[in-house]
Amino acid sequence: MKDPKSALNSGRVVSIRGSVVDILFEQNLPPIHSLLRTGDNLQIVIEVQAQRDAHCVQGIALTPTQGLARGMLVEDTGGPLLAPVGKNIRSRMFDVFGNTIDNESPLENVQWRSVNSPPPPLSRRSTQSEIFETGIKVIDVLMPLERGGKAGLFGGAGVGKTVLLTEMIHNMIGHHEGVSIFCGIGERSREGEELYREMKAVGVLPNMVMVFGQMNEPPGSRFRVGHVALTMAEYFRDDEHRDVLLLIDNIFRFIQAGSEISGLLGQMPSRLGYQPTMGTELSSLEERIANTDTGAITSIQAVYVPADDFTDPAAVHTFSHLSASIVLSRKRASEGLYPAIDPLESNSRMATPGIVGERHYALAQEVRRTLAQYTELKDIIAMLGLEQLSPDDRNLVARARRLERFLTQPFFTTEQFTSNKGKLVSLKDSLDGCERILRDEFRDYPESALYMIGSINEAKIQAVPDNNSASNTKPGTRLKATSGTSASVASEDG
């Protein structure tokens, strides 16, 4: 919004280097984070990043700089970047400037707030730990999410981060009486359009806000769009006292945009070419996501991991802020075990007896132990065959393979691709299923009966007992192949 005082403070462009613009002000020097406008119709927006001397500021353009020339007049708007807040922003789609991009009616009756708010003080933060149920079996059992916490979805390209985020939106809004905010940072335009259409089709758009800074936009725009979404989330938490589900796709693109800005400003790069201020920039965003006395912002963030390398500084810095880490595995995706979550690499701070209860904790530990022992036995099976294992180990392998298949789940958001009806599974049903598999109740059922089902009782409907299952195999026989998984996994005995 243009300030009436802007005409009193104007400067001129003295240098342009891509998105970096140096501007000379003869009188008042604008503070850092001030918004400046220039161009023929004031359509070029610049945010002040540094004050170079008593009369010159350096800024980053939040819009393309085509047509910008030295000597052009620049107007100081008199304030920082603002975001719209209010009841009427629900069901709408915005860009980084708060403009609606959904071709609907103009926005009315909203307030405008600065996107540069400080995090809530420690005195206002809640210290209670509550579980946030998602309806996805493998997450609720092994890596429960925290209400008001931050969870990360880690994975390389094409392993299902966006699909998992979309499924969580669908599952949450049904039994989550709050507001969902989706923030797309540096993602594809196609994904934003598809998400808007899907959310509209399933009827959850009235309690949802979408904010997008697409990958074709300048780095300044991609860097600021996360702060815009957080400002909207803070309004619903602090003013309307509602719980907020904030989904960010993708937090790595935020770090990447900061790296681009740092390079454009000529700062000395840090490890692997990242910006030296990466930790500070990430903290300024993450620390605002908090559980307070008025409500909670629960955040689920997709994190692209470059080349699947979890020692990359972007992944390491993001890990430190999270209460739960959900690691997606390319190997499991290739085996058809969707969601492709690695149960051994993923973890949650909530998975303690004092928070989830003794039974849940003991079951989760037993599931992890069984899957870990199966992973250790895979090399022996590949080299010598299943028949070389002891009867106890063969039983453990059968149990682990049935657990792996039970922890798969058909998603509502992939129904059109798989023709499998989506399933929402309660925590009670998920725990019961794991417990009954660990007790060998399903040892006589084929593994395929447990693949892509909801509650464990569906296995009895899908299949009749198989007397030649792996748990009863004599030496020399092979594990039965499972429909929907790769042949290499189905015959791991070599």
- Residues catalogued as catalytic: 161, 187-188
Tell me the two tokens of residue 338: 């969707």
Q: 3-state secondary structure string, 429-494?
A: HHHHHHHHHHCCCCCCCCHHHHCCCCCCHHHHHHCCCCCCCHHHCCCCCCCCCCCCCCHHHHCCCC
Residue type, 474: K
Residue 324: how many CA atoms within 13 Å on its side-chain side?
30
Question: How far apart, in Å, are the Cα atoms of 341 and each of 55, 160, 165, 456?
Answer: 54, 9, 13, 19
CA separation for the pair 297, 132 (Å, rounded):
11
CA separation for the pair 129, 116 (Å, rounded):
28
CA separation for the pair 209, 87 (Å, rounded):
10
For the residues of 188-232, what is the DSSP string, one character each? Answer: -HHHHHHHHHHHHHTT-GGGEEEEEE-TTS-HHHHHHHHHHHHHH
CA angle 346, 347, 349 (to 5 degrees): 160
73-80 and 150-155: which strand pairing?
unpaired
The CB density around residue 93, as the number of other CB atoms within 10 Å, is 24
Q: Under a CB-based contact definition with an 8 Å cutoff, are residues 116 and 80 in contact?
A: yes
Tell me which long-range contacts 411-420 makes (C-beta under 8 A, separation of at least 24): 411/163, 411/167, 411/338, 411/339, 412/167, 412/170, 412/171, 412/202, 413/163, 413/166, 413/167, 413/170, 413/198, 414/163, 414/167, 420/452
SS3 state of residue 24: strand
**H or E element in which residue 80 lies:** strand 73-80
Residue with the two structure tokens 């209460």: 323
